[in-house]
Structures are given as structure tokens and as C-alpha cells.
Amino acid sequence: MLGVIGGSGFYSFFGPDARSINLDTPYGAPSAAITVGSVGEHEVAFLPRHGVRHEFSPHTVPYRANMWAMRALGVRRIFAPCAVGSLNPALGPGAMVVPDQLVDRTSGRADTYFDSGGIHVGFADPYCPALRAAAAELPGVVDGGTMVVIQGPRFSTRAESRWFADQGFTLVNMTGYPEAVLARELEICYAAIALVTDLDAGVEAGAGVRAVDVFAEFERNMVGFKKLVREAIGGVADASTCTHCLAHEGVTLPFDLP
């Protein structure tokens, strides 16, 4: 089964005929019930990251519960569409980007299932190459870029934004971590698909980023963005042959994965 975790403004993916599944986990309830439907030949599970009414801010999303619930349901490959700010003037609102690198600037978020046992996962390349290719090869999609993940819920200052841009980072986001590393710990293939909603504060002069503008831009692009996610799903092979995301080969874990 494939999975989709929708970001801000991406609260539904299927019609009323989809079945809804409520799951509990050792880390509490996920953000919402998981809906399961079909995209082409694939069975797909959808979870809105922030809840169906955007109940969860970026720093309060139950990331561990979300990823655990998806794995328990049988999901082994996840696309993660998300809203991002651009740190590159060449990538304006409406651009769709498949990042290949991530920088974590969050703090205080529970970002592992392994609080004991000395388990370490490789994370040099944080996204699944097979899933990235399925999305990045689509027409009009920008392939590659570094997404810096900030704590939120506030937006960056101009100085922070210029600092990120000077480091060569491409996108700024609030939810891409710890989601990506939790997927790796659960040996789930994972790739982000980013929709640019704004130029970040240090890139463009003016009043700075406003949430109302971010949501409006996301809504303007929602039909095309969902179409892109469906096309990416259609480009995924029926059976996974990825070994990149099998983080625990040769390692004895302190508990069984769901």
C-alpha cells in the first residue's frame, strides 16, 4: 500500500466512497482517521498531517503516531506533499519541487522511536530515490533542492531567511522533520513534494510572509497539486525494489516494527 500525508490545505484526497480507518498507536492517536481509496492500480492511504480542520500546528503534529499508524496499516511508501517558502527568487509561487536534501532547524520534537538500544539510522540521503524519481520526472517539476525545516509556528525573520539563502538552501518548511527520519526508522520509503506558496521574507522586500497569503496560494494551486501527486503515484512500480530505505539490515531492534 502507498501513503500520502497531506500538508496545509491538503485535507482530503478521495471522495465519499473511500473507507475510513481509526487507529491508535503506542504514541497516541494520529492527526485524523486514515482514508483508503484507489489511485489507478494502487491502493492508497491518506492522512492529513494537520488534521481535517487544521487542528495541529507544525510543532504539535503527532508525527510518531502518524508514521506508526501508516506502517501498521501496511503502508511502505509515502509521498508527503507540503507547502514551502522559496529561498530562491527563480522559484516563485506555484513552483513544484522535489527536494533531495533536508536541514533540521527544529527543537524539542520527538524524533525517534529508539530511546534505548543504541539504534542509529543512516540519513545522509533523507528521501527515497525511487519515489523521488517518480515525482521529479513529471513535466514542470523541479528536481532537487535543500529544504530547511524550522520550528514554527512563526515565520522566519529577514535575517534568518537571508542566512538560509546564503547557505545555499532552496526551500523553507515547518513539517518536513521529524517526519522524514521517522519514516526511515520504520523502513518506509518517503519523498516530499513541495509547493512554493511564497518568497521568504529575506528574499522579497515587503510586509513579509503572512499565513493568509500562504493558504490562499496553496488553495489556488490545489487542483494541479493533487493531480501531480496522483501522477507521481501512477509512476510508482507495483512492487518496491528499494533497498536504500532499509535502515536496519543486520541490526537487532529492541522491539518489532508494526
Known binding site for substrate: residues?
174, 198-200
What's the rounded Cα separation, in Å, for the pair 243 and 140? 28
In this structure, which amino acid lies at residue 145? G
**200 carries an active-site annotation:** yes
Binding residues: 8, 49-50, 174-175, 198-200
> Which one is catalytic: 17, 143, 198, 256?
198
Residue 80: which H helix or E strand, with range?
Answer: strand 77-86
Q: Which residue in 111, 200, 238, 256 is the catalytic one?
A: 200
DSSP string of 125-184, one letter each residue: S-S-HHHHHHHHTSTTEEE--EEEEE--SSPPPHHHHHHHHHTT--EEESSHHHHHHHHH
Q: Which H or E run contains 69? A: helix 63-73
Binding site members for phosphate? 8, 49-50, 175
> Which residue numbers are catalytic?
198, 200
